């Protein structure tokens, strides 16, 4: 499969010929992209076929694509070189492929002629010898799926462990001994029921013993098991939401604080609306209604002042005309001075002291004469009465009166406006403070608006805690009841049925039941000891593996993988795996490369002390993409030195530099290490022009 020299296609080639399935990226309804193992069918066949071959094919044309793998099978002195070929036959149907069938073929290479000849060996059996079906999830892995390689808790983890080591044989023995004890007890009761020479008291005691034993079995095997299963479910919910609970709670607390700020802003806005409404209503209901209410008081006063100024100019110009002693230039100067209205008294003082009060220069005779004869008379209005001047003066007086009246009411309204304006200004300033507080809060804490996921986390976690507390109380109550019933049962059994009243069958049944109970308890305790011993050994083995895989990571050197045994009423055992740091804190939530290698370490640890030494090839696609360069180096070195694997095939792009189209520095380091190892190869696959295939080079 040569399209773009894809490493995933190469990995899928191994997977397809051994496992009949391939890894493809699937987009779920929620938009989430995941990698899943799927058989090749009509829907995905076109994704596997070389695109050049597909595009060049005609409609309805038959197309074949598949995989050939050569391997050596050694069985004592018999060495066989075999070729497995698996082809898919399909037909092009416009833009898709119609899947027809799969063709499988087994051939052997003749040791003398080196030619291939068909043999009768079963294809699937040989594929199972390459990697046995129950080991394929652990020896044939894709990098994106490594985080899901091994569940860290529950029944799936137990299945993983059982698929590699046979510790579950103890479960089978315990289950068989328990069934045997139940059957013997059933027969013992049948023989007891056939006794005819028992007193009424003895019969009642026997019935009570049987009833208590039944009740205890129901309590222990049904009621308590169900309750502990409920407790486990709640614990799983707690575990699921635990990592995000504190963050969700923080977000909720912050959201509540932000909500308080928002409510303050809403209250401020409400007060501003009320102030605006009060401004309008009060303004229209005051007892005094002045001109300033019906128009813009500033414009009214300004207009009046403008008219008064104009009439003052008229008045001054007329005065200048009436003063015949003034030349045209002097009239112009007088009109300019008229704007500032210099008082005659001040002018007289300047004459008396012979100094100008404006520029402080000395006044000579000509200047004094000009002031006395021109300026003082003009500004004292010392000229003959004039009708036009009187009319201008009268109009000016009317305008002044209107202006004074307008300003009086404007001043009256000013107090109102100032007070109302003060109220609004305070509210605006308060709003600015609130907005600044909100902006600062968001800058420091980000967007903390409560979301649905946080609410689900908080509700689910809190509800699970409450339900777990209820279940645990019920378990405690039932365990106390079991203790009480066992005590009563022991008291009743102190007085057994008299031997002379027992039948031979009952005596044998009692002896056999006693033996079955002891056997069940011995096996049950042995299983418990074995499970805990196994967990301890797996912890040590997995920790060594994990530290070796990440030996250049300082943090990993202070971490250990701990395998815990979870029991449910001494009937069912499960495992839980955690990563613990040097302070004893659980680091299991850490993702990325640590999680992937942690779970790989667990599988390798299991392989280390499996019952039968496993010698399958380890085939992995991009298992190191998330690792640091130092950890990548450690990963390769560890695999090259490992004795647990018959062969390792690592497909990756981490040792290649796309810019230089050559091996990068890390790749050169790994190449140097590989050259020192016998039967090791470093192979590169380079795409040919137009993606028509790949060029394979052995370095």
pLDDT digits (tens, 9 = 90+) for 507-524: 888 889 889 889 988 988
User: From residue 236, how far is each of 229, 232, 241, 564 by CA, in Å?
Assistant: 10, 6, 9, 15
Angle at 509 between CA 507 and CA 510, to 5 degrees: 65
- Angle, helices 224-285 vs 452-493, to 10°: value is 150
Q: What is the pLDDT of residues 529-566, one digit of tens each?
A: 888 888 888 888 888 888 887 777 777 778 888 888 87
Query: Of the candidates 265, 212, 279, 290, which has an alpha carbon nearest to the alpha carbon of residue 489?
Result: 212
Same domain? 160 vs 105: no
Instruction: Check whether 129 has a pLDDT greater than 80.
Output: yes
| Cα within 13 Å of Cα(159), Cβ side | 9
Residues 637, 673: Cα–Cα separation, whole Å: 8
The confidence band for 525, taking pLDDT boundaries of 50, 70 and 90, is: confident
Q: Do 610 and 679 belong to one domain?
A: yes
* Non-local CB neighbours of 659 within 8 Å, separated by 6+ positions: none
Q: Does a structural domain hold residue 319?
A: yes
Is residue 326 classed as helix, strand or coil in its secondary structure? coil
Task: Compute the distance between CA of residue 177 and CA of residue 524 in angstroms, rounded to an integer.
Answer: 9
Mean pLDDT (the chain, rounded): 76
Q: Is residue 600 assigned to a domain? A: yes
Q: What crossing angle do the helices spanning 629-641 and 665-675 adopt, rounded to 10°?
A: 10
Same domain as 559, residue 421 = no
Q: Are residues 88 and 161 in the same domain?
A: no
Q: Which residues, other chains included, contact 124 with Cβ-Cβ below 8 Å and sequence gap of 6+? A: 104
Give yes or no: residues 117 and 163 share one domain.
Answer: no
| 263 within domain boundaries | no
pLDDT digits (tens, 9 = 90+) for 384-430: 665 665 666 666 666 666 666 666 555 555 566 666 666 767 777 78
Are 552 and 682 part of one and the same domain? yes
Kindly state the DSSP code that residue 542 receives in the 8-state scheme. H
Q: Give kind and range of the element (H or E) at residue 697.
A: strand 694-698
Q: From 374, 336, 330, 367, select the one nearest 351 (Cα to Cα).
A: 367
In this structure, what are the phi and psi dihedrals at residue 92, rounded to the nearest 5 degrees?
-75, 130
Contact 576/563 with Cβ under 8 angstroms?
yes
Specify the residue for token string 């002291």: 353
Residues 479-496 have pLDDT tens digits of: 888 888 888 888 877 777
What would the mean pLDDT of 67-91 be, rounded to a whole number?
Answer: 87
Instruction: Report yes or no on 227 lying in a domain.
Output: no
**Same-domain status, 75 and 26:** yes
Number of domains into which the chain is organized: 3
Residue 58 CA to residue 94 CA, distance in Å, equals 8
- What is the full DSSP assignment across 628-690? -HHHHHHHHHHHHH-SS-SEEEEE-STTEETTTTEE-HHHHHHHHHHHTSTT---EEEEEPGG
Is 161 in the same domain as 117? no
Q: Are residues 627 and 557 in the same domain?
A: yes
CA distance 671 to 60: 47
* Residue 581 domain-assigned (yes or no): yes
Judging by DSSP bridges, how do beta strands 694-698 and 683-687 pair with one another? antiparallel
Q: How confident is the model at residue 2 (pLDDT cuts 50, 70, 90)?
A: very low
Q: What is the pairing mode between strands 140-142 and 62-75?
A: unpaired
For residues 564 and 534, the answer to whether their CB atoms sit within 8 Å is no
CB 516 within 8 A of CB 181: yes
DSSP 355: B
Give the contacts of 246 (CB within 8 A, at least 6 positions apart): none
Pair (80, 162) in one structural domain: no
pLDDT at 84: 92
Under DSSP, the state recorded for 447 is -
* Least confident among 141-145, 192-196, 269-273, 451-455: 141-145
Same domain, 124 and 164: no
How far apart are the C-alpha atoms of 608 and 518, rounded to whole Å? 34
Q: What is the pLDDT of residue 105?
A: 92
Predicted pLDDT at 305: 67
As beta bridge partners, residue 117 has 108
The predicted pLDDT at position 298 comes to 56
Comparing CA positions, the residue from 688, 559, 264, 581 lying closest to residue 435 is 264
How many residues belong to the chain? 699
- The answer to whether residue 5 scores a pLDDT higher than 60 is no
Angle at 12 between CA 9 and CA 13, to 5 degrees: 90
Instruction: Return d(Cα 698, Cα 683) in angstroms, integer.
Output: 5
**Domain for residue 9, yes or no?**
yes
pLDDT-based confidence at residue 289 (cuts at 50, 70, 90)? very low
- Cβ neighbours, 10 Å, residue 697: 10
Is residue 617 a part of any domain in this protein? yes
- State percent of the chain over pLDDT 70: 73
**Kind of pairing, strands 617-621 and 647-651?**
parallel
Query: 50-54, 86-90, 134-138, 671-675: which has the highest mean pLDDT?
Result: 86-90
Q: Which helix (H) or strand (E) holds 436?
A: helix 387-445
Range(s) of the domain holding residue 118: 3-130
User: Among all chains, which residue has been given the structure tokens 């209503």?
Assistant: 281
List all residues 6 or more positions away from 643 whose beta carbon is below 8 Å from its beta carbon. none
Whether 110 and 163 map to the same domain: the answer is no
User: 400 to each of 291, 403, 497, how far by Cα in Å?
Assistant: 16, 5, 133
User: What would the two tokens of residue 158 be?
Assistant: 């137990």
Please answer whether residues 238 and 465 qualify as being in contact, where contact means their C-beta atoms are separated by less than 8 angstroms: yes
- Report which secondary-structure segment, H or E, holds 67: strand 62-75
- The answer to whether residue 160 is domain-embedded is yes
Domain of 597: which CATH number? 3.40.50.300
How far apart (Å, rounded) are the C-alpha atoms in residues 540 and 205?
53
């Amino acid at each position: 499969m040569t399209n773009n020299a894809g490493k995933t296609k190469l990995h899928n080639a191994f997977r397809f010929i051994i496992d009949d399935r391939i890894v493809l990226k699937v987009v779920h309804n929620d938009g989430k992209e995941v990698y899943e193992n799927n058989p090749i069918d009509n829907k995905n066949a076109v994704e596997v076929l070389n695109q050049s071959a597909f595009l060049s094919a005609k409609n309805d044309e038959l197309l074949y694509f598949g995989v050939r793998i050569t391997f050596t099978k050694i069985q004592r002195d018999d060495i066989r070189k075999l070729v497995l070929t698996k082809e898919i036959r399909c037909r092009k149907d416009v833009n898709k492929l119609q899947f027809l069938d799969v063709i499988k073929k087994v051939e052997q290479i003749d040791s003398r002629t080196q030619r291939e000849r068909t043999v009768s060996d079963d294809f699937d059996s040989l594929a199972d010898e390459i990697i046995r079906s129950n080991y394929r999830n652990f020896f044939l892995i894709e990098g994106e799926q490594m985080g899901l390689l091994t569940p860290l808790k529950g029944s799936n983890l137990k299945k993983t462990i059982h698929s590699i080591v046979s510790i579950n044989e103890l479960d089978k023995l315990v289950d068989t001994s328990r069934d045997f004890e139940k059957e013997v007890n059933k027969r013992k009761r049948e023989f007891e029921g056939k006794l005819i020479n028992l007193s009424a008291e003895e019969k009642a005691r026997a019935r009570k013993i049987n009833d208590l034993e039944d009740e205890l079995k129901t309590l222990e095997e049904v009621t308590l098991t169900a309750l502990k299963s409920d407790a486990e479910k709640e614990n799983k919910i707690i575990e699921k939401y635990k990592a995000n609970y504190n963050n969700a709670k923080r977000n909720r607390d912050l959201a509540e604080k932000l909500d308080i700020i928002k409510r303050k802003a809403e209250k401020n806005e409400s007060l501003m609306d009320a102030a605006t409404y009060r401004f309008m209503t009060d303004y229209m209901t005051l007892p005094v209604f002045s001109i300033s209410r019906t128009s813009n008081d500033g414009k009214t006063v300004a207009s009046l002042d403008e008219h008064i100024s104009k009439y003052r100019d008229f008045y001054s110009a007329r005065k200048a005309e009436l003063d015949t002693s003034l030349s045209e230039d002097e009239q112009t100067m007088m009109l300019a001075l008229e704007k500032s209205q210099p008082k005659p008294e001040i002018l007289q003082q300047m004459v008396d002291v012979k100094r100008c009060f404006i520029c402080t220069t000395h006044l000579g005779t000509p200047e004094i004469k000009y002031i006395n004869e021109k300026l003082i008379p003009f500004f004292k209005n010392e000229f003959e009465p004039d009708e036009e001047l009187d009319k201008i003066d009268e109009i000016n007086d009317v305008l002044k009166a209107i202006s004074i009246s307008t300003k009086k009411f404007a001043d009256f309204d000013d107090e109102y406006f100032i007070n109302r304006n003060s109220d609004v200004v305070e509210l605006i300033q308060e709003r600015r403070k609130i907005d600044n507080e909100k902006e600062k809060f968001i800058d420091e804490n980000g967007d903390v608006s409560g979301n649905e996921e946080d609410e689900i986390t908080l509700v689910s976690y809190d509800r699970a805690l409450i339900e777990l507390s209820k279940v645990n109380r019920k378990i405690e109550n039932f365990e106390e009841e079991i203790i009480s019933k066992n005590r009563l049962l022991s008291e009743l059994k102190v007085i057994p049925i008299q031997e002379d009243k027992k039948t031979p069958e009952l005596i044998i049944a009692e002896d056999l039941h006693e033996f079955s109970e002891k056997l069940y308890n011995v096996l049950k305790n042995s299983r418990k000891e074995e499970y805990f011993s196994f967990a301890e050994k797996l912890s040590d083995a997995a920790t060594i593996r994990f530290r070796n895989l990440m030996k250049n990571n300082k943090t990993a050197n202070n971490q250990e993988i701990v395998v815990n045994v979870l029991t449910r009423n001494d009937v069912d055992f499960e495992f839980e795996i955690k990563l613990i740091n040097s302070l004893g804190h659980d680091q299991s939530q850490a993702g990325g490369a640590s999680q992937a290698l942690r779970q790989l370490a667990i599988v390798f640890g299991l392989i280390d002390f499996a019952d039968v030494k496993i010698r399958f090839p380890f085939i992995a696609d991009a298992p190191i993409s998330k690792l640091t360069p130092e950890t990548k180096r450690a990963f390769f070195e560890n695999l090259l030195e490992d004795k647990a694997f018959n062969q390792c095939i690592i497909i990756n792009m981490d040792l290649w530099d796309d810019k230089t189209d050559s091996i990068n520095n890390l790749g050169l380091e790994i190449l140097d290490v590989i050259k020192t190892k016998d039967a090791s190869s470093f192979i590169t696959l380079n795409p040919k022009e137009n993606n028509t295939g790949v060029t394979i080079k052995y370095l």
